[in-house]
Amino acid sequence: MVMVFYVVPVFILLSGVCVVIYNHKHLLVVLLGIEHVVVGGFFLVLFLLVGFDIEIYFSVVFLTFAVCEGSLGLSVLVSLSRSYGNDYFSSFSVLQC
């Protein structure tokens, strides 16, 4: 029964990675996949910390970094949507200045 607590977060983590790998046309889908990975990682870290009877203060730090990552991703999405008109990866080039 204890193993279920570790299998579910790993499944969430791996499904988020699959979303990022296979659906990389839109920036918004990639950002949602990355947030899916962060939520799976948070649950995995939380279950591991509780399972080993360690203080869960680290989970608060992890959530702080996750919120910063989410806000940074949304700001990139808004700036790219304003400058290019859409969120397709094929419409903008990294080499363009």
Summarize pLDDT for 62-81 with one digit per residue, the tens. Answer: 899 999 999 999 998 888 88
The length of the chain in residues reads 97
What are the phi and psi torsion angles at 26 (to 5°)? Answer: -105, 145
Range of the domain at 50: 4-85
pLDDT confidence of residue 15: 92
Q: How many domains does the chain have?
A: 1
pLDDT at 82: 86
Helix/strand/coil percent split, the chain, to 5: 75, 0, 20
Per-residue model confidence (pLDDT) at position 24? 80
Q: State residue 2's pLDDT score.
A: 66
Instruction: Give the domain CATH number at 67.
Output: 1.10.287.3510
Domain membership flag for residue 41 = yes
Task: Identify the pLDDT of residue 96.
Answer: 58
pLDDT at 52: 83
> What is the distance between the alpha carbons of residues 80 and 52, in angstroms, rounded to a whole number?
43
Contact (CB, 8 A) for 62 and 72: no
Spans of the chain, pLDDT less than 70: 1-2, 92-97
Flag whether 59 is in a domain. yes
Separation of first and last alpha carbons in the chain:
54
Give backbone dihedrals phi and psi of 87, rounded to 5 degrees, phi first: -120, 25
